[in-house]
Structure 1
């Protein structure tokens, strides 16, 4: 695989059982590139290792006053230099290719996994961790994968040089053959500690990345509540912890490098001292001594790859473990594709809660716990919490459908949808049935002011559809982002549309328009909306109250608001004290109504001037809120 061939047509199925297994899987899938890097690495290191022999031959030719051998040595030096340059160039090219292609494979796998899991991904793994894996961790993994071939070439070269020295000059060759392995393994006792420090550093860095991601994502809210400095202080502390961990890790690697330099120097001194004694006794020639000395000097270059591979593995192992943890995530029940074909249709039914959304109707779901509502919305999209609890569309369990078929049948928009950067036209360019035009979806989502703001803020785009939207829609308000995301969902026109709090960031008048537009545009299509807004609830064909994981009441909004105390408490945000006060007010109003001074329900009669007393006003908080909500519904 070459860089110009990226992306991969199919990145493959990774072995995500553990970090080391994932690294080994990556290596095996790049075997061709690894062999190419190994071949060029052997040429490069072998050429480097041949330089001492050429230098020793030249020195000995000068000592012997042999012009022919000196010319031969010069020619060999030229060939070795050319081989060094050629091998180094193509080794670097092959190594970088292996690095980039390995990183690209991991990124494709992560992107595929994110697409497979959808919004369920960030509920099972922190968003910051996903960012850390797809950025910094990918680089560390690629570094180790490409360093393996260079390390192998360096190790083979060292073995060949040791064997060659033993054959060329046994007296010194034995010393070098014994000393180099000792030099290579001398730092092994320090590697576990260095690895632990590297793991700790990566853990701290990942935590800082998560904190930064969460802070940036909620910056607008933090500024609104004055919590910006608090979170910035937390990030500063996390950043300092990363810095301290990095310094401690760097100290250990510096110690390892220092030990290798020290031992290399001691080996060099030993060989020179021993070689001088052999030369004085005429047991070796001067050229042979120069060859042995130069070999040790140049062998420190491939020896550095032993420290590099240890460092690369130490940094890539936690990165690979995090990547494997993300890639190991699966839907609760896998599918074998046996139900591939046209998307099913019919009623949407969740056996876990008993929630039923009849086909073609607008069903609103009231759930007092927002987190439970999010989990239920996720389950309605075909992601059950555990096997055996799959939502059924008609007679077909969603988790038995291929993912693309399930998503064609059911579209889930969570409470925090993401807008990608690009033009509005590109944002709305999504798979769709063609039955809903962009203008209709934008109108139903009440996006007129959003289009005007985009047109006003764009200097180059005369058409609002060509206006640019910044990353995650950060230039827009929360309500504007929410409405654009709703318009995008409406354009797709799925068989079943599930919306989780689609109007939580808009005002009541805009919300009333969205409720009306949503009802009109989705006529005849199954729509499920998780909300506690009376404006949306009043437009629904049926309302289901889900309490503690079970559908406890079904009806229409105006019926449930008067008959179900729990439903009324969720919709009106009524506290227990307010509920007690309202019941007391109703009782007193009924008693007073007997003599005509007040109407049932605690509303003042004509003779009271339309104003309740101070004590009655305090007790009518919940009832007054309910009356106000009903007035908004009627005016809408």
Structure 2
């Protein structure tokens, strides 16, 4: 796989049983790139290792005053220099390719998993952790995959150098052959402690990232309640914990680096002293001594890769473990490729909620969290895996048996806190759709006239066209009500067979809410729509209303019927005790509207 061929047509099925297995799976998936990097690494390292041989020949030729051998040695050095340059260039090219393609594979896997689970993902994994995995962790994982082949080339080079020196000059070669493995393995006892400290650092850094992400996401709320300083203090404390953990980890890696500088120096001194005695005794020539000395001096370069692979593994293993934890999340059951039913009722066997085809059904839950979980269930994505044993039925067909794309096209869920991506308004509304609903119709139904005016006024270089005005990330330049209505317009443009809306008007005033409810009812006429809400203005426009109490549908009827006959419904909708009923019939709506306006 080359960088120009990205993205992968299919990133594959990862081994997520552990972080180490995930790293091994990534390495196997790039076997061709790893082999290329290994081969070019061998050319590079052998070019470096061969230089002492050429230098030794040249020195001996000068001692012997042999011009022909000196020229031959010069040609050998030039050839080795060319091999070194070519190997270094191609090693860097292939290694970086391995890094980028491995990181891209992980990012594709994360994107696929995010698309598969949707908003359920953030119910199972903190949003900050997802951000940490898709940014810093991906880089750490790519680093290990990239360093693996370079380490293998360095290790093979050291073996060849040791064997070559034993054959070339046995007296000194044995010393080197014994000393180099000791140098390579000397830091092994320190690696577990260094790894633990690196794990602690990554864990604390991940928590700090989660805290920062969650704080930024709730910044508007924090400002409203004056909680900025509280969360700033928490982040300061988390940041200091990360700093202290990083310092402790760095001290251990500094010790490992110092050992890998000290021990090669000791070996070099031993080789020089012992080799000088052998040269004085006439047992080896000056050129042979120079060759062995140069070879030992240059072993420091491949030995550095032992330290790097240890660091790469120590830092990437926690990252791989976090990525594997996210990638191990699954839908509740495996799709069987069942055909999408043409219409049909939406039914949840767990709660007993039924949404007849082609009608607007409102669902009232006393617990907002329960309403959110029900919305996810109706979309075919239970918030908890244990809930997935009984799937929601669409036209009698379990949603879990549909392919993911088909299930998404059949049922669309808009949660209570929808996300607006950065881009122009036209790009925001450019979503997969049936084509039956134009953007202008959806914006009108969602009562977005004031949003369009605001965007037109904010336009700098788009001639006042709101459709070409950019919206900031998550729509932070807009109010909560404006973001909510734009998200509603986006859902209406999609025009799915079944649309599930969780509190779609919770952030707007009562007057706007009434018009939005009427617009949605008009635009979705003849289409199956489920609204989870407790607003009388919405409920009064629904064809039928279902009351869910303690996880079960306990009453069904129109809004006015349930106000008269169901105390539990009345308590949820009017926010009043069961024994304090509101006026009945048509008189109830103005009273409720007045109460909501006063509250707003």
Bucket of the pairwise TM-score, normalised by the shorter protein: over 0.9
Which residue matches 2:96? 96
Which residue matches 1:138? 138
Q: Out of 490, 493, 506, which is 1:491 matched to?
A: 493
Shift of 1:216: 0.8
SS of equivalent residue, structure 2 residue 389: coil
Which residue matches 2:38? 38
Q: Is the 8 A contact 1:425 1:465 kept in 2?
A: yes
Tell me the TM-score normalized by structure 1.
0.91
**Which string of whole-angstrom CA distances, capped at 9 and with x for unpartnered residues, describes residues 163-198 of structure 1?**
000000000000000000011111101000111111
Shift of 1:625: 10
Q: Is the 8 A contact 2:459 2:465 kept in 1?
A: no
Shift of 1:564: 2.0
Q: Is the 8 A contact 2:536 2:589 kept in 1?
A: no
SS of equivalent residue, structure 1 residue 10: coil
Larger radius of gyration: 1
**Alignment partner of 1:568 is 2:556:** no
SS of equivalent residue, structure 2 residue 499: strand
Shift of 1:569: 1.8
Which residue matches 1:503? 505
Shift of 1:9: 1.3
Cα distance in structure 1, aligned partners of 2:434 and 2:285: 87
Comparing 550-559 and 111-120, the one that deviates more: 550-559
Structure 1 segments (4+ residues) deviating >3 Å = 384-387, 624-627, 630-634
Q: Is the 8 A contact 2:537 2:589 kept in 1?
A: no
Which residue matches 1:288? 288
**Which string of whole-angstrom CA distances, capped at 9 and with x for unpartnered residues, describes residues 261-288 of structure 1?**
1111111111111111111111111111
**Alignment partner of 1:403 is 2:404:** yes
Superposition pairs of residues 405-444 of structure 1, within 5 angstroms: 405-444=406-445
Cα distance in structure 1, aligned partners of 2:432 and 2:75: 67
Change in CA separation of 1:334 and 1:283 when aligned onto 2, cut-off 3 Å: same
Change in CA separation of 1:523 and 1:627 when aligned onto 2, cut-off 3 Å: closer
**Alignment partner of 1:381 is 2:379:** yes
Shift of 1:573: 2.2
Which residue matches 1:359? 357
Which residue matches 1:525? 527
Cα distance in structure 2, aligned partners of 1:83 and 1:437: 63
Q: Is the 8 A contact 2:443 2:489 kept in 1?
A: yes
Shift of 1:218: 0.9
Shift of 1:343: 4.1
Change in CA separation of 1:139 and 1:633 when aligned onto 2, cut-off 3 Å: closer
Q: Is the 8 A contact 1:344 1:396 kept in 2?
A: no
Superposition pairs of residues 117-516 of structure 1, within 5 angstroms: 117-337=117-337, 339-340=338-339, 342-384=340-382, 385=384, 386-461=387-462, 462-516=464-518
Shift of 1:388: 2.7
**Alignment partner of 1:6 is 2:10:** no
Cα distance in structure 1, aligned partners of 2:407 and 2:36: 43
Cα distance in structure 2, aligned partners of 1:268 and 1:484: 71
Cα distance in structure 2, aligned partners of 1:217 and 1:254: 38
Cα distance in structure 2, aligned partners of 1:263 and 1:625: 87
**Which string of whole-angstrom CA distances, capped at 9 and with x for unpartnered residues, describes residues 321-346 of structure 1?**
11111111110011132x14x44421
Change in CA separation of 1:300 and 1:630 when aligned onto 2, cut-off 3 Å: closer
Q: Is the 8 A contact 2:198 2:315 kept in 1?
A: yes
Which residue matches 1:540? 542
Change in CA separation of 1:630 and 1:96 when aligned onto 2, cut-off 3 Å: closer
Cα distance in structure 2, aligned partners of 1:343 and 1:235: 50
**Which string of whole-angstrom CA distances, capped at 9 and with x for unpartnered residues, describes residues 44-80 of structure 1?**
0000001111111111112112122112111111111
**Which string of whole-angstrom CA distances, capped at 9 and with x for unpartnered residues, describes residues 411-459 of structure 1?**
1001111111111111111111122111111011000000000000011
Q: Is the 8 A contact 1:535 1:633 kept in 2?
A: no
Shift of 1:631: 5.2
Cα distance in structure 1, aligned partners of 2:509 and 2:522: 20
Q: Is the 8 A contact 1:20 1:317 kept in 2?
A: yes
Superposition pairs of residues 591-610 of structure 1, within 5 angstroms: none
Shift of 1:565: 2.1
Q: Is the 8 A contact 1:343 1:408 kept in 2?
A: no
Cα distance in structure 1, aligned partners of 2:264 and 2:549: 72
Structure 1 segments unaligned to the other structure (5+ residues): 587-600, 603-623
Cα distance in structure 2, aligned partners of 1:119 and 1:23: 27
Shift of 1:389: 1.1
Change in CA separation of 1:382 and 1:207 when aligned onto 2, cut-off 3 Å: same
Change in CA separation of 1:55 and 1:267 when aligned onto 2, cut-off 3 Å: same
SS of equivalent residue, structure 2 residue 529: strand
SS of equivalent residue, structure 2 residue 412: strand
Change in CA separation of 1:630 and 1:136 when aligned onto 2, cut-off 3 Å: closer
Q: Is the 8 A contact 1:344 1:393 kept in 2?
A: no
Change in CA separation of 1:25 and 1:202 when aligned onto 2, cut-off 3 Å: same
Change in CA separation of 1:127 and 1:204 when aligned onto 2, cut-off 3 Å: same
SS of equivalent residue, structure 1 residue 411: strand
**Alignment partner of 1:629 is 2:592:** yes
Change in CA separation of 1:236 and 1:631 when aligned onto 2, cut-off 3 Å: closer
**Which string of whole-angstrom CA distances, capped at 9 and with x for unpartnered residues, describes residues 216-268 of structure 1?**
11111111111112111111111111111111111111100111111111111
How many residue pairs match? The answer is 591
Cα distance in structure 2, aligned partners of 1:630 and 1:69: 103
Structure 2 segments unaligned to the other structure (5+ residues): none
Shift of 1:563: 2.5
Cα distance in structure 2, aligned partners of 1:23 and 1:316: 8
Cα distance in structure 2, aligned partners of 1:480 and 1:630: 21
Which residue matches 1:592? none
Cα distance in structure 2, aligned partners of 1:633 and 1:189: 68
Q: Is the 8 A contact 1:425 1:466 kept in 2?
A: yes
SS of equivalent residue, structure 1 residue 118: helix
Cα distance in structure 1, aligned partners of 2:262 and 2:345: 76
**Which string of whole-angstrom CA distances, capped at 9 and with x for unpartnered residues, describes residues 7-46 of structure 1?**
1111111112211111111111111111111111000000
Cα distance in structure 1, aligned partners of 2:376 and 2:172: 71
